[in-house]
A = this chain, B = another copy of it.
Amino acid sequence: MTSTALFAEISALAGDPARASMLHALMDGRALTAGELSRVAGVTPQTTSGHLARLATAGLVSVEQQGRHRYHRLATPSIARMLESIMRVAADLAPVRRRLSVGPRDASLRLARTCYDHLAGTLGVALADALAEQGHVELGPDAGIVTEGGIAFLRQLGVAIDRPSKSRRIACRPCLDWSERRAHLAGSIGAALCARSFEAGWVRRLDGTRAVAITPKGRHVFAERFGAVLP
């Protein structure tokens, strides 16, 4: 198995529309059953089973059996990053092609959603902008930095931040997504902020999708404490 062949195999696995839909659905970091993924992909359960078997043996998804359900999730965070980067290219290429479908079904996704382990969409960008505006983070072209004040600010709001032992500073990863085409906070900081948002009830998951709803409490916190401008 040469390096290129494995590369092609992984890409080909992501290159089927049905499997792409499933991987897309798993991008929020949750574990979904084969039946749910079947409905998402729009194919019959037996076809889905075959797809999931291939994804599992390749190591892209991990399977966990619970009773008569089999829960599938992305095997590693690096796979989520890979899917992210492909979506990024797709967003770059979309204007050249036809316009992306912007139906009402996408509206809630555009406003706020999870991107594997962090918040994305208008909300994610607004939070990143607000944190930068207040001097809590500094966002560069390749990466970002959480300032001393930012660490204190986030800790005060209950966001669990692990400070690296050696460094006094914390670097964070920006993530460009398809809807806003702007940077939002990813990496461990983004994950901690997202986890805290769910824990504190600032956002809650919407039905069975990647979309999240901003609660009244969350809207207040995001506006008053973070200084984020939300539509």
Contacts and interface: CB of A to CB of B under 8 A. Distances in A.
Nearest to A59: B93
Contacts of A173: 142-143
Interface in A153-195: 164, 166-167, 169-173, 178, 186-189
Centre residue among A2, A3, A15, A19 by max chain B CB count within 10 A: A3
Contact of A14 (B8, B21, B88, B171): B8
- How many copies the complex holds: the figure is 2
Range for the number of chain A residues in contact with chain B: 35 or more
A78 interface: yes
A94 B3 CA distance: 8
B10 A86 contact: yes
A149 B101 CA distance: 49
Contact of A16 (B12, B138, B169, B171): B12
A6 B138 contact: no
Contacts of A87: 3, 7
A85 B78 contact: yes
Interface string A64-102: 000000000000101101101111111011101111110
A145 interface: yes
Contacts of A9: 15
A2 B101 contact: yes
B16 A8 contact: yes
B140 A164 contact: yes
A90 B7 contact: yes
Contact of A11 (B12, B93, B189): B12
A167 B15 CA distance: 40
Given A1-B101, A4-B21, A76-B89, 11 more contacts: A4-B20, A7-B20, A7-B90, A8-B20, A9-B15, A11-B11, A11-B14, A11-B15, A12-B16, A81-B85, A145-B171
15 contacts: A8-B14, A8-B19, A9-B15, A10-B89, A11-B20, A59-B97, A60-B89, A60-B93, A82-B86, A82-B88, A138-B169, A140-B167, A141-B188, A142-B173, A145-B171
